[in-house]
Amino acid sequence: MSAVTINESSLKDIMSQPDTVSASAAPVETPAQVVTQPRPTPFFQTERGQALLESAGNVFRAVLPPAIGLALFVLLWQIVSSSGGEQGLPGPAKTWESAQVLFADPFYDNGPNDKGIGWNILHSLYRVGAGFGLAALVGIPLGFMIGRFRFLAGMTSPIISLLRPVSPLAWLPIGLYVFKETEPASLWVIFISSIWPIILNTAAGVSRVPQDYLNVARVLNLSEWKIFTRILFPSVLPHLMTGIRLSMGVAWLVIVAAEMLTGGTGLGFWVWDEWNNLNVEHILIAIFIVGIVGLLLEQSLMLIAKRFNYE
């Protein structure tokens, strides 16, 4: 009996095998559908949710390191200032309070040596703008000519190599002697220190105009003017923008130092004036202002430069 039952059951197993195969093949699809359709996917597993998570993560990764860096910086500042006791550097809180007072009325004018911080910033910006503008006015055409004519490049290269490394402030006495006044002398210092990057970058840009473009100009037999406006200038523009950016950076570095020496108005003067008043909070604030304005100048020039990048 037992043998028969074993045979029967094993026979049943064998007989049912195709059934079980087909039965298991069909439901493979059905349970998947049954599971996915009625139950809503959690939001963070959908495509939009994933994208949101990812962008949030990106923002987090972009913001977190600078935030920690700045926080550590302020902490360090606090430690340095509190370790100095009464005579130590003003701490962040004290400086912040002082800054609030300072920026409450930025444009007051109490005579030549007592103007609001806004005026001082504008004066420095004006000097940088004027000196740098003159440098661009002279430097850009000069750079184009140096780049275009090898003879001129040979002529000017020793002069440029000699004068370029001279510290900007060394030019101040020359300016004072020639112009007899402080205002043009400080413009002169800005001019002479910011002209080199403009000349050198423009010249490099001109000499690196791809031969392909010049061949197009030659095949078309374009006039010098058309070559300049349609090929040379647009091709050099990215290099020119780099020169302008470097020049602006130099000009902004130099202005504070020049104004310390010439006096009158401007951020540099203000720093020195506050040193004489022993108002150290204001000196710290000035350092932040110089940094922030320089950063803004740099960033806005970067934005303009991006506009002219054709690659």
Partner 1 sequence: MHNYLHIENARMVFDTKKGKFTALTDINLTVKQGEFIALIGHSGCGKSTLLNLVAGLTEPTDGILLLSEREISGPGPERAVVFQNHSLLPWLTCFGNVHLAVERVFGAKENKARLKERTQAALELVGLAHAMHKHPNEISGGMKQRVGIARALAMEPKVLLLDEPFGALDALTRAGLQDELMRIVQETHATTLMVTHDVDEAVLLSDRIVMMTNGPAATIGEILEVGLPRPRDRLKLAENPAYHHLRGQVLEFLYQKHMKKAA
Q: Give me the residues that bind partner 1 (CB under 8 A), please.
A: 212-213, 215-216, 218-222, 226, 230-231, 234-235, 310-311
Q: Which is nearer to partner 1, 122 or 227 (CB)?
A: 227
d(CA 204, CA 229): 18
Q: Which is nearer to partner 1, 192 or 231 (CB)?
A: 231
Q: CB of residue 66 vs partner 1: minimum separation in angstroms?
A: 32
Q: CB of residue 209 vs partner 1: minimum separation in angstroms?
A: 11
Q: Which is nearer to partner 1, 46 or 223 (CB)?
A: 223
Q: CB of residue 310 vs partner 1: minimum separation in angstroms?
A: 4
Contacts of 48 (CB under 8 A, 6+ apart): none
Which amino acid is present at 152? L
User: Could you count the other beta carbons within 10 Å of the beta carbon of residue 89?
Assistant: 18
Q: CB of residue 214 vs partner 1: minimum separation in angstroms?
A: 10
d(CA 123, CA 128): 9
Q: Are 143 and 199 in contact (CB under 8 A)?
A: yes
Q: CB of residue 218 vs partner 1: minimum separation in angstroms?
A: 5
d(CA 137, CA 195): 9
Q: Which is nearer to partner 1, 41 or 215 (CB)?
A: 215
Q: Which is nearer to partner 1, 50 or 229 (CB)?
A: 229
Contacts of 118 (CB under 8 A, 6+ apart): 106, 107
d(CA 103, CA 282): 11
